[in-house]
Structure 1
Amino acid sequence: MKLAYRDRVHFRAATALVAALSLTAAVPASAVADHSLDRYYRQSPAWKSCVRNAQDTPGKQLAALGARCAAVTVPLDYTRPGGRTISVAVAVVPATDTAHRIGALVVNEGGPGDPAIDYLTDRHAALKKVAARYDLVGIDPRFVGRNAPLDCRWPTSTYMRAAGVDRTDFVRMTAFQRGLAAKCRRNAGALLPYASSRNAARDMDVVRGVLGRRRVSYLGISYGTYLGEVYTAMFPGRTDRVVFDGVHEPHHLAPWAEYGTEQANENALRHWATWAATQNATYGLGSTADAVLATVDRIQASAVRRPLAVGTYKLDRHAVPLLMYGVLGEDVRPTDRDIAVMVRTLKRAAESGRAEPDPGLAALLPSLFTGQDSAYGSTQTAYLCADTPGPRDPEVFWRAIERSRAHHPLFGPLFNDITPCAFWTPPAERPTVVDNDVPALLVNATGDPRVLYSEARAMHTNWPSSRLITVRNSYRHAVYGLTYANACVNDAVNAYLGSGRLPSADLTCSGAR
């Protein structure tokens, strides 16, 4: 789940892309596992400009790279290929070094629920010289991004809330989650059974067929690593070069999304607090890490007594831990400053009874407390409930909360709280069993607060053909790319994508700043 602040070139003739995509008719029959799906694999979608309107900055950036976009038709329900269809948005930035073209590189940004197309320009830049040798492909998973949404009409962008301090609070949160699930059944019930990683993987394979590729390379970020694992298990032999950044180990996803990350988030919070203490003259949060963390504790204690008034919003005991969690995982100085500004605002609200929101909170709070991003939260939850439905008995959650609270009073009630999945429509399929071995390059920071480093190590053990890049002294979730700019990681990933040769041994990079 991504709540953190996030900063989210030459035009080439469309004929270059048309040439790159003209292999559609050459898809061998062996590449289509189910002949009832032939019409989907062999379709010829209409490729056009990626610019949707005058305000579409990502589309304009893609157009400057010569990208073209299309809507690929897929079945809503793959068990009924003759039934209702939906479309999946696809963008392709064509290779410019056609004499040395490697193939197609598909990117998934994670979430689940994050679009790929709007971030494709950044990925293209991160690839540097090797970008010229790939047709870079962004697929917005079904119901995400440029696709028709799955919208439960929620009053929030995320179901995540802390359980509170006692049984009464938990009962309140149980009713809240039950209500979210009921809204989904009422407003999006016809789509819920078909929002899953298994169907996203099937859609990805249809796109592979449409692009005329026997195999595709793949870059998966965060949840995108799980989607890649599912794809390799469902469609063995159809990947070439594989990179996973922020690595999920499939067995560790259950029983609910962030279970077990309490200590990692506390470590990341302390890491930030250590920096904030050196900036006490600017932010006034405390002159030591312990003092800064004590400020956070006082903010939460104040919210327990009475919700903090920040602008027109009331931030209660259920919301403050979510805000502290939501801004972790970037581990760059601009975000450190954003967190300090946010905590200073919350401190003012706790001490004086009211504060005006800072720019970060002004951007974040409408998403958390209005229906502004309801479709994002609805779709993310639908995927999570299909992939890791978890327990359905509220008492299981209550016991987990009570066990965790004693050791992790801030994050324990958040990461163990009940979710809408307890009241969800049962998934149409069981989660995928990932029991294969695929040569892949795995990347993870030791202090990652979203996906534990232990998961990357477990996945490395499960896939002995893989290599692992360990980023030490880093509290970053997903390391490869422009924002974190770790040259050690970026160079190793790009070298592998360019040569197809994994490092001869596991690598260690420093994340120290």
Structure 2
Amino acid sequence: MRIRSPRSLVAAATLSLGAALLAAPLAPSTAAGAPAASAPSAFRAAPIEWGRCQDAFLRQSGGKCGMLTVPLDHAVPDGPTIQLAVSRVAHKGSTYRGVMFTNPGGPGGSGRALAAYGQFVPGKVGRSYDWIGLDPRGVGESRPALSCDPRITRIGTRPSYYPTTDAILQAWLTRSEEYAADCGTSAAAALLPHMRTTDTVADFEVLREALGAEQASFYGFSYGTYIAQVYATLHPDRIDKLVLDGVLDPRGVWFDAQQSQNKAFEKAMGQFWKWAAQAHGTYRLGRTGAQVEKTYYRVLEKLTRKPVDGVSGPEVSDLTLSAGYGRYAWPEVASMLSEVVTKGTARKLRKAYVSSYPTTRGGDNDYAAYLATVCTDAPWPTDLDQLLADYTRQDRTRHFMAWPNAWFNGPCRTWPAAPGTPVEIATSDQEALLVNETFDGATPFAGALEVRRRFGGASLIEGVGGTTHAASLSGIGCVDNKIAAYLATGKLPKRRSGDRADVKCPAIPAPKPG
């Protein structure tokens, strides 16, 4: 399942569910305890030529765009190169606090729009930084961009996520294997051995050098928090300030992280079921959370047996999942399910799905780039019998996500690029401001506690009882004002004793129905 982008980008992001190539050498792992200073890059970074951005939001925010040249393989700095799409919103005023790198998550998320996020930091503090957005290698407007088969999520073409028959199981195994093979023969297949998190971190180092910055701050959302963790471990002397929102647990890269998500999303969806029950007068989905949950599975089964308006079960599952990512999606998801229940039509589901899953050229870019990182950052289990046994076991208590997540990551079992070894995130006195809501489904709260243990100088803000993923800069003053204070002065909330949050703040509130 995708480790998703921040709240204001989710509406535009895909509502996802979840020839042998030689792997490039990884940067050496840093042992816990004493991170070494970063070695100088052998690649000479060229300055970026800034020009007009095509994106209207960036233009309105004063952004400029350009391309950064980096090695395809950082172990061969004089070899072939690729280009990364970069954006910048320069600081305003006389106070300048340096460069702010950003990443929205994914893996596979386009990050250029995040250059405009400085304006959402309270007190105009964000305006004192140069905010830098980046489409990571293989993503978005970076060249080449990875695409394997844009028809992979075409509406009405997928069997049920739940393998209740041998035919369904075989269909998903075949789809997964064929997509992996298509990636191995795609036009951008040369990227596949070089799409690990360590490659992206090396790209950020080239970007820092191209910008002429001695250090950089990093505001990471979701998977972007893991990029920042690896960056701070491999290049500790290059980090100024770290804000990590929706904190990825470094112990679970990546198979274990998916299993943890399955459990966490059950809890997050439980809150949605209860909210929809309280709004029964509006949505007619059930008067209790348990009734709403049963209604969801009835809709899922009904449309799996006989699609309505071209919408089948997997589309229902994909779109309903967005309610597990954040409370902001609750009214829309409830409304889509309500239409099926009360009118027998699925026009809202169809419109949302077709918009979110383009089947035009390159429409699978974010999914292909996601797999290219997740399947190679660390070894993925390949024993089919063991995998099926694991998912069957999880399905007993984590029915909502276990099988959908299994097939979302299915191509990793036969991925055509060799896996590497994850960097061991160092235990150090690294300072950081961590933010996580209690019942975040995509990045469970245990991950934030783990990074707090490893970064001895970090402070953790908990959005108490919330389910929204990567929810900072959403107008919760208790959270956003502390981020502004840290970015302005470097002062973090006082660290408390014990294994717990240092500050408790209100979560993103539940929306009104309708």
Query: Paired residue for 2:470, among 468, 478, 494?
Result: 478
Q: 1:386 to 1:410 in 2, by over 3 A?
A: same
Aligned pair count reads 468
Q: Partner residue of 1:11? A: none
Please state how far the C-alpha of 1:152 moved relative to its aligned partner.
Answer: 1.1
Structure 1 residues 80-95: aligned runs within 5 Å: 80-95=76-91
Residues 148-187 of structure 1 correspond to what in structure 2 (within 5 A)?
Answer: 148=143, 149-156=145-152, 162-187=161-186
The 5-angstrom pairing of residues 412-491 of structure 1 reads 412-417=402-407, 419-427=410-418, 429-437=420-428, 438-482=430-474, 485-491=475-481
Instruction: Determine if the alignment matches structure 1 residue 385 to structure 2 residue 375.
Output: yes
Check whether the contact 2:462–2:503 (CA below 8 A) recurs between aligned residues: yes
C-alpha displacement at 1:262, in angstroms? 2.6
Query: Shift in Å at residue 49 of structure 1?
Result: 2.0
Deviations for 1:13-50, whole angstroms, at most 9, x for unmatched residues? xxxxxxxxxxxxxxxxxx9834631x22xx22212222
- Is residue 2:51 matched to residue 1:48? yes
Partner of 2:505: 509
Distance 2:306 2:448 in 1: 39
Q: Which residue of 1 aligns with 2:221?
A: 221
What is the deviation of 1:471?
1.0
Q: 1:272 to 1:253 in 2, by over 3 A?
A: same
Tell me by how many angstroms 1:257 deviates.
5.4
User: How far apart are residue 388 of structure 1 and its match?
Assistant: 3.7
Which letter maps to 1:83?
G
Name 1:498's counterpart in structure 2.
488
Alignment correspondent of 2:245: 245
Q: Distance in 2 between matches of 1:82 and 1:451?
A: 38
**Cα deviation digits, residues 308-364 of structure 1 (max 9, x gap):** 32x2x2413x444333223421213xx211011121234368xx5xx2421x64132
- Structure 2: gaps (5+ residues): 13-36, 496-501, 510-514
Aligned residues of 1:246 and 1:443 also touching (Cα < 8 A): yes
Native 8 Å contact 1:329 1:449 kept in 2: yes
2:71/2:77 contact within 8 Å kept = yes
Q: Deviations over 1:420-475 (max 9, x none)?
A: 11101233642222124221111100110111111111111122221111111211
Give matches, 1:77-476, under 5 Å: 77-98=73-94, 100-148=95-143, 149-156=145-152, 162-187=161-186, 188-255=188-255, 258-304=258-304, 306-309=305-308, 311=309, 313-316=310-313, 318-332=314-328, 335-347=329-341, 352=344, 355-358=345-348, 361-365=350-354, 367-368=356-357, 370-371=359-360, 373-417=363-407, 419-427=410-418, 429-437=420-428, 438-476=430-468
CA distance in 2, matches of 1:57, 1:441: 31
Question: Structure 1's 97 and 441: CA in aligned 2 closer, same or farther, altered over 3 A?
Answer: same
Paired with 2:469 and 2:41, the residues of 1 have a C-alpha distance of 40
Distance in 1 of aligned mates of 2:281 and 2:38: 64
Cα-Cα RMSD: 2.6
Do the aligned residues in 1 keep the contact of 2:58 with 2:116 (CA within 8 Å)?
Answer: no
For 2:111 and 2:372, locate their aligned partners in 1 and report how far apart those are by CA, in whole Å.
18
Query: Closer, same or farther in 2 for the Cα pair 1:491/1:161, shift >3 Å?
Result: farther
The question of whether the paired residues in 1 share the 8 Å contact of 2:311 and 2:346 is answered with: no
Contact 1:446 1:452 in 2 (8 A): yes
Residue 451 of structure 1 aligns to a residue in which SS?
A: coil
Which structure exhibits the higher relative contact order, with contacts defined as CA atoms closer than 8 Å and separated by 6 or more residues? 2
Q: Give the Cα separation in 2 of the matches to 1:153 and 1:404.
A: 29
Which secondary structure state, in structure 2, belongs to the residue aligned with residue 242 of structure 1?
Answer: strand
Give the distance between the partners of 1:253 and 1:348, measured in 2 at CA: 42
Is the contact between residue 245 and residue 479 of structure 1 (CA under 8 Å) also seen in structure 2? yes
What is the DSSP-based 3-state SS (H/G/I as helix, E as strand, rest coil) of the residue aligned with 2:200? helix
Cα distance per residue 1:225-267 (max 9 Å; x no partner): 0111111122221101101000011112332652222332122
Partner Cα separation in structure 1 for residue 242 and residue 491 of structure 2: 11
Shift of 1:199: 0.9
C-alpha distance in structure 1 between counterparts of 2:207 and 2:424, whole Å? 23
How far residue 303 of structure 1 moved from its aligned partner, in angstroms, is 4.1
Partner residue of 1:24? Answer: none
CA contact (8 A) 1:473 1:512 kept: no
Specify the code of the residue in structure 1 equivalent to 2:366.
Y
Q: Once the two structures are aligned, what percentage of the paired residues are identical?
A: 27
Deviations 1:26-80 (A, max 9, x none): xxxxx9834631x22xx22212222x3xxx3223223xx2x32221111111111
The letter for the 2-side match of 1:97 is G
Q: Is the 8 A contact 2:108 2:365 kept in 1?
A: no
- 2:219 touches 2:242 (CA, 8 Å); kept in 1? yes
Matched residue type, 2:78: G
Paired residues of 2:375 and 2:415 also in contact (CA < 8 A): yes
Partners of 1:275 and 1:110 in 2: CA distance: 27
Distance of 1:269 and 1:89 partners within structure 2: 36
Tell me, in whole angstroms, the C-alpha distance in 1 between the residues paired with 2:228 and 2:97.
Answer: 19
Residue by residue over 1:181-222, the C-alpha shift from the partner in whole angstroms, topping out at 9 and shown as x without a partner, is 011011132121112211111110111111111110100000
- Using the TM superposition, give the Cα deviation of residue 392 of structure 1 relative to its aligned residue in structure 2, in angstroms: 1.3
Judge conservation of contact 2:358–2:364 (CA < 8 Å) in 1.
Answer: no
Supply the AA of the counterpart residue of 2:47.
S
Decide whether aligned partners of structure 1 residues 57 and 303 sit closer, same or farther in structure 2, where only a CA change above 3 A counts: same
SS at match of 2:227: helix
Deviation of the 1:161 alpha carbon: 7.9
Query: Aligned with 1:105: secondary structure?
Result: strand
Q: For residues 80 and 415 of structure 1, what CA distance do their matches in structure 2 show?
A: 36
- What SS does the corresponding residue of 2:255 show, helix, strand or coil? coil
Contact 1:69 1:92 in 2 (8 A): yes
TM-score normalized by the length of structure 1: 0.85
